[in-house]
Structure 1
Amino acid sequence: MAKRVVITGMGVVAPNAVGLQAFSTALMQGISGIHHDPELERLGFSCQIAGKPEVPDQMKAKYFTELELKQLNSTGILYGTIAGMDAWQDAGLKILGAEEPDWDSGVIFGAGNSGVEKFREAIYKIDEGQLRRLGSTVVSQTMASGVSATLGGKLGLGNQVSSNSAACTTGSESILSAYERIKSGGAIRMLCGSTSDGGPYIWAGFDAMKVCTYKHNDEPRRGSRPMSATASGFVPACGAGALVLESLDAALERGARIYAEVLGGHINSGGQRGGGSMTAPNSAAVQRCIRMALEQSGVEAEEIDLINGHLTATTKDPVELANWSAALNLKAADFPFINSLKSHTGHCLSAAGSIESIATVLQLNQDFVFANLNCEDLHPDIAALIAPDRIPQRMLKRELQIAAKASFGFGDVNACILFKKY
């Protein structure tokens, strides 16, 4: 018999806040995490603003030993470890001793890349003939599974320990993979989520592609403008989000707090056909992904109270909303509320799906809809599809039951998850 799956813990390292309570407050208050980045200006980037979490040294020391910190320069592993360990603690779970691993618990934690700064450091040392000075952590900081291996070791997890990578869909994919493992009985609980390194070596390619905004370098907090008529590209960002998924039976047995239930979802690809490409969506695949997510979750379109979209502040925002409209087949006035976290944080790339899923679950759990920042000039193609009051400009207090979270990524890949208040 399939297991019901619930969320019992969350942790977040985001540009607008680090820590779950601070993140919830930032969402309610519409706090932006986007700032001017002097390094991007020095290097001649067109986009000189970014979203980067602030992690002080005293906070790092709570998660890593002095020796670990001396060698650590992978921000992806830093962010992911903090978010993951916070989620584990938030779920009320213990870290086992050294004797035996926790066979019932595992981790699926995704990343778009790992340890770019460490890799760069290693390249320079090798080129300079300093091979023996590489240190002992180059492999663990640069391998794709570095973040899941780090978390698995710190928490003593003995079930599946692996990393996934699917561009902007990574975080949502990790949640659905963990959900399926628990649902099928392969694990009792899974830590899941995703992380993203930040900085010029990650963001340069996007700047070169001209998909990042360049019009708001002098007013950073107005730079990320999803669904706006004056949107001019996304703001690069980084961070990590982590969730503890657990079978409902196990959560009830140990008296755990339950944030929400994962009803199901769907993952697919447009195959870079039918208008889809490495950077553009196949709309038929997006619509199919949404419809299949509803079908597999047993949810009707009119039951959805909130959509947290992918919505990056590029020319694809009207296309995404057109796909939601076609997939749900609802009248403009009957649409769910829709918002985009990227107006607060920028685009956290491979971490986006997990951080945005946490934002979605917090809204369900606390009955609010956070504001879409910088969307006072709603794109006319979007306004023609959806009633403007469905795209709130200020935080609303509303009772919510079911929310959809979608991620659409480079490579024409899609994921959609349905969450329900427990």
Structure 2
Amino acid sequence: MKKRVVITGLGVVSPNGVGISAFSEAIKKGVSGIEFLAELRDLKFSCQLGAAPKISEEKKREYLSDLQLRNFNSSGILYGVIAGMDALKDAKIEPAKPEEAPLWDLGIIFGTGISGVDKFREAIHKIDDKNVRRLGSTSVAQTMTSGVSAYLGGLIGAGNMVTANSSACATGTEALLMGYEHIAAGKAKYMLCGSSSDSGPYIWGGFDAMKVTTYKYNDTPNKVAGPMSEDASGFVPGSGAGAYLLESLESAQQRGATIYAEILGGAINNGGQRDGGSMTAPNSAAVQKCISEALKNANVSAAEIDYINGHLTATIKDPDEIENWSIALNRKGNQFPFINSLKGMVGHCLAASGSIEIVSAILQLHEGFIFPNVNCENLHPKIASLISSEKISMKTQKTSLQTIAKASFGFGDVNACAIFKKI
């Protein structure tokens, strides 16, 4: 019999707030972390806006020692370590002491996309082709995809499965569902899951070249047209990390832990880059199938979904996403659930988007509110034809949510959808 799985700890490193308290306050107020970056202007980027968390040197040393920070240059690992350790602390689980055995019942699945680019660039910049061996002793740990999970594994003393996943923008949602399955199958008591993304021009430059980022708001970063807006012209690149501590309901109740939400189930699939799907665009049939299969796996009817935390990126694909939700749920107009997108406040945090957005979704479920859709007053007409405007709130609303959905759709035509319920 599958074990019931709940979330008992949260951590977040977001462009508009580091730590759950600051982040929760920011999303309630619609605070944006998007800003103009002179570095991108000097590099002649079309989009000269970005969104990155602010981490002081003092903050770094709350999590990593001076020795660990020596020659350390990976923002993605730093973000992931902070979010992961905060989620563990929030769940009131102590790391194993250095002299103790590993925590055999605690595992980690922490994903990323493009990892350690700044570190690798720094290392390569100092050498030539005849001196490759001089890349440096810290380059491997900071550039391997499993870097975040490896750092966390050592800090915590995790003794169960410690690994990483990488599925572009769907990474964080996929990591959660992988951790859910591991606990549901009785293979671990705790799973620390999440995802992280580096910041900076070497990460964001490729997206600028693809022309999927906006160029219209370089002088007005606080007015960037948000997801679902008719004026949306592309996303602002972001970065950060989100984390969640999963455990069995039985364990959480025995410990008297705070239960933020129960994970009812979900689904992961791929559109095969067929039927309109491609490396960069989703196959609508696969998106609808993923949502439908998530509901089936969670044993939830479409009518029970109160709220959707959308992937919605402020691109031309937003109307298609809304249509896919409407078809999969067979709901439209006033019957459509509440929906919002965090990307209006923090940009598109790439591999970290799913995890940061899941944290925002869980906070809304737990605390009973819906955060505003920022700069979305001019709703896209196709979306307006599918959803009643009252379901796309422009201000924070207090409301009682019971069952919610979160989906992420990533490059490679990968889809992931998770269903959560308030306990």
TM-score tier (shorter)? over 0.9
- Paired position in structure 2 for 1:32: 32
Q: TM-score, normalised by structure 2?
A: 0.98
| Residue 126 of structure 1: how far off its partner (Å) | 2.6
* Distance of 2:208 and 2:29 partners within structure 1: 30
- Paired position in structure 1 for 2:356: 355
- Paired position in structure 1 for 2:221: 220
| Residue 373 of structure 1: how far off its partner (Å) | 0.3
The aligned runs of 1:191-210 (5 Å cut-off) are 191-210=192-211
- 1:51 maps to 2:51: yes
- 1:70 maps to 2:79: no
* Distance of 2:69 and 2:222 partners within structure 1: 31
Instruction: Give the 3-state SS of the residue equivalent to 1:71 in structure 2.
Output: coil
* Distance of 2:222 and 2:404 partners within structure 1: 27
- 1:173 maps to 2:174: yes
| Residue 113 of structure 1: how far off its partner (Å) | 1.8
| Residue 330 of structure 1: how far off its partner (Å) | 1.3
Instruction: Give the 3-state SS of the residue equivalent to 1:149 in structure 2.
Output: helix
Structure 1 runs (4+) greater than 3 angstroms displaced: 128-135
| Residue 130 of structure 1: how far off its partner (Å) | 5.8
Instruction: Give the 3-state SS of the residue equivalent to 1:181 in structure 2.
Output: helix
AA aligned opposite 1:168: C
- Paired position in structure 1 for 2:165: 164
The aligned runs of 1:109-188 (5 Å cut-off) are 109-127=110-128, 134-188=135-189
- Paired position in structure 2 for 1:280: 281
* Distance of 1:29 and 1:365 partners within structure 2: 17
AA aligned opposite 2:177: L
* Distance of 2:398 and 2:255 partners within structure 1: 31
Instruction: Give the 3-state SS of the residue equivalent to 1:357 in structure 2.
Output: helix
The aligned runs of 1:388-403 (5 Å cut-off) are 388-403=389-404
Does the CA contact (< 8 Å) of 2:6 and 2:248 recur in 1?
A: yes
Instruction: Give the 3-state SS of the residue equivalent to 2:101 in structure 1.
Output: coil
* Distance of 1:280 and 1:131 partners within structure 2: 38
Q: TM-score, normalised by structure 1?
A: 0.98
Aligned residues: 422
CA RMSD of aligned residues (A): 1.0
- 1:15 maps to 2:15: yes
Q: 1:157 to 1:249 in 2, by over 3 A?
A: same
| Residue 320 of structure 1: how far off its partner (Å) | 0.3
* Distance of 2:413 and 2:169 partners within structure 1: 10
The aligned runs of 1:91-110 (5 Å cut-off) are 91-98=91-98, 99-110=100-111
* Distance of 1:32 and 1:128 partners within structure 2: 43
* Distance of 2:123 and 2:275 partners within structure 1: 42
- 1:79 maps to 2:75: no
* Distance of 2:67 and 2:136 partners within structure 1: 12
AA aligned opposite 1:206: F
Instruction: Give the 3-state SS of the residue equivalent to 1:414 in structure 2.
Output: strand
Does the CA contact (< 8 Å) of 1:224 and 1:342 recur in 2?
A: no
- Paired position in structure 2 for 1:5: 5
| Residue 219 of structure 1: how far off its partner (Å) | 0.7
Q: Which runs of 5+ in 2 are unaligned?
A: none
AA aligned opposite 1:197: D
Instruction: Give the 3-state SS of the residue equivalent to 1:245 in structure 2.
Output: strand
Q: 1:9 to 1:224 in 2, by over 3 A?
A: farther
- 1:266 maps to 2:248: no
Deviations 1:126-146 (A, max 9, x none): 318666754321110011111
| Residue 71 of structure 1: how far off its partner (Å) | 1.4
| Residue 291 of structure 1: how far off its partner (Å) | 0.5
AA aligned opposite 2:87: A
Does the CA contact (< 8 Å) of 2:225 and 2:376 recur in 1?
A: no
* Distance of 1:85 and 1:130 partners within structure 2: 37
| Residue 121 of structure 1: how far off its partner (Å) | 1.3
Does the CA contact (< 8 Å) of 1:48 and 1:214 recur in 2?
A: yes
AA aligned opposite 2:72: L
| Residue 287 of structure 1: how far off its partner (Å) | 0.2
Instruction: Give the 3-state SS of the residue equivalent to 2:188 in structure 1.
Output: coil
Does the CA contact (< 8 Å) of 1:224 and 1:344 recur in 2?
A: no
* Distance of 1:269 and 1:139 partners within structure 2: 31
Does the CA contact (< 8 Å) of 2:124 and 2:135 recur in 1?
A: no
* Distance of 1:299 and 1:245 partners within structure 2: 21
Does the CA contact (< 8 Å) of 1:191 and 1:245 recur in 2?
A: yes
Query: Which one is further off, 91-100 or 262-271?
Result: 91-100
* Distance of 1:133 and 1:287 partners within structure 2: 49
| Residue 225 of structure 1: how far off its partner (Å) | 1.3
Q: Which runs of 5+ in 1 are unaligned?
A: none
- Paired position in structure 2 for 1:413: 414
AA aligned opposite 1:281: P
Give identity over the alignment, percent: 61
| Residue 125 of structure 1: how far off its partner (Å) | 2.2
| Residue 67 of structure 1: how far off its partner (Å) | 1.9
* Distance of 2:229 and 2:421 partners within structure 1: 29
AA aligned opposite 1:343: G
* Distance of 2:224 and 2:117 partners within structure 1: 26
AA aligned opposite 2:74: S
Deviations 1:8-44 (A, max 9, x none): 0000000000000110000111100100111111100
| Residue 198 of structure 1: how far off its partner (Å) | 1.0
